[in-house]
Structure 1
């Protein structure tokens, strides 16, 4: 039976690599993104279904769910990123620092936690025994993460309770905590050679991660061989952070 896979934030980076991996296994894949042009371009290139959806918006997530069929086998919550905050805002040249701080934290929590919570709640009834929920976390949850790291730490805490909720139905739920991944838009062009070298030096295998590293981990966690792995945070970072 053909698997049905939904990947939020599937137009670029890790989400796109995950979508491509499942599509290569002949799954029927749906990807989402916030902008029509990027969704259409990615869907055409990957030969998958593209749906426009801002996963932080309850109305759009509800509409997304209604566009899917009755069955879903794999959900990958890959939407997220750094906070998107306008430091000035319309008509203001000197914003209150606390307003800016609040906006940064609210944006981080919305993008990296609420997006996964809303999407999962909207589609989890479609997942049946053998289904998998995967959410993309970050090494930033363990150290030096600020608002972004705190939102990813909250994602892992939520995943533990979600796993207990869906486990009796035969559905697994895990977080893939990514280390430094090269070849994405995450750093928005601000990655320096010095910072790159420092992040690679922290690893045991002395290389940056790739989107495909995360995609292969996601594919395994949604496979029959991983049915007893649930409620976990799987660290994929080349040893830059270890659990011992």
Structure 2
């Protein structure tokens, strides 16, 4: 029996890697993101389908739900991002609003739209990708930590509200993942600041590492729920304790 998975933020990084892993595991994958050129290329590679979808746009999310249909086995809410690393006193309110819209409201809207299909599958998995930043405040985390903490609370609330329903609910919180676009967007395209984030770290996580973890969670039997999985590289003990011995 063919299983279907939706991955948001699928045009690059963790989302694209997750789509590849789930496709390799036999899922029919529906890719969702804003950049059609990248979606079309990945869909062609995987034999997947795609929907151009800005998760903050309720109309676009409704179109995604229509494309998915009546049943869905796995939803990976991965779309999100960080903007800036300024202290709270100097942070951009506009950046905070953007992060809240993308990280929290986007996750909420996609979840609301696709939850009936997850329930209808009889064995759904709702997986929200957050961050270790959701669980540890740090200087420079600012709005990113606030919004990711919000998604963490949203996930735990759903776990309680869906008790007795045929849906597993998981929060996956990766630590340092060396993807190109995440850091570049956070620092306004400043390659040097992006590179400095990972400087000297012997082995930051890759997008594929996170995707492999998603694949493992999706493979578990219906009665096993991973409430929270924190995934860090060996060389990261906390948001600020990082081994940079190769620097």
Give the TM-score, by structure 1 length.
0.84
CA distance in 2, matches of 1:35, 1:192: 22
Unaligned 5+ segments in structure 1 are 85-97, 201-205
1:162 is aligned to 2:146: no
Give the TM-score, by structure 2 length.
0.83
Deviation of 1:59 (Å): 1.2
Q: 2:97 aligns with which of 106, 120, 124?
A: 106
1:61 equivalent in structure 2: 61
1:143 is aligned to 2:137: yes
CA distance in 1, matches of 2:203, 2:109: 35
TM-aligned CA distance change 1:183 to 1:103, over 3 Å: closer
What are the within-5 Å matches in structure 2 for residues 189-200 of structure 1? 189-191=191-193, 193-197=195-199, 200=201
CA distance in 2, matches of 1:179, 1:103: 25
Q: 1:152 aligns with which of 143, 148, 152?
A: 148
CA distance in 1, matches of 2:193, 2:83: 16
| Contact persistence 2:179–2:207 (CA under 8 A) | yes
Deviation of 1:63 (Å): 1.4
Q: C-alpha deviations, 1:193-220, integer Å up to 9, x for none?
A: 543236x3xxxxx510011111111112
1:32 equivalent in structure 2: 32
Secondary structure, counterpart of 1:186 in structure 2: helix
Paired residues in the alignment total 223
CA RMSD, 1 decimal: 2.3
Q: C-alpha deviations, 1:70-100, integer Å up to 9, x for none?
A: 110000001111239xxxxxxxxxxxxx9x7
| Contact persistence 1:220–1:226 (CA under 8 A) | no
Unaligned 5+ segments in structure 2 are 185-190, 239-247
CA distance in 1, matches of 2:6, 2:198: 32
| Contact persistence 1:56–1:111 (CA under 8 A) | yes
What are the within-5 Å matches in structure 2 for residues 1-40 of structure 1? 1-40=1-40
Moved segments of 4+, more than 4 Å: 190-194
Secondary structure, counterpart of 1:222 in structure 2: helix
TM-aligned CA distance change 1:226 to 1:125, over 3 Å: closer
1:131 equivalent in structure 2: 124
1:181 equivalent in structure 2: 177
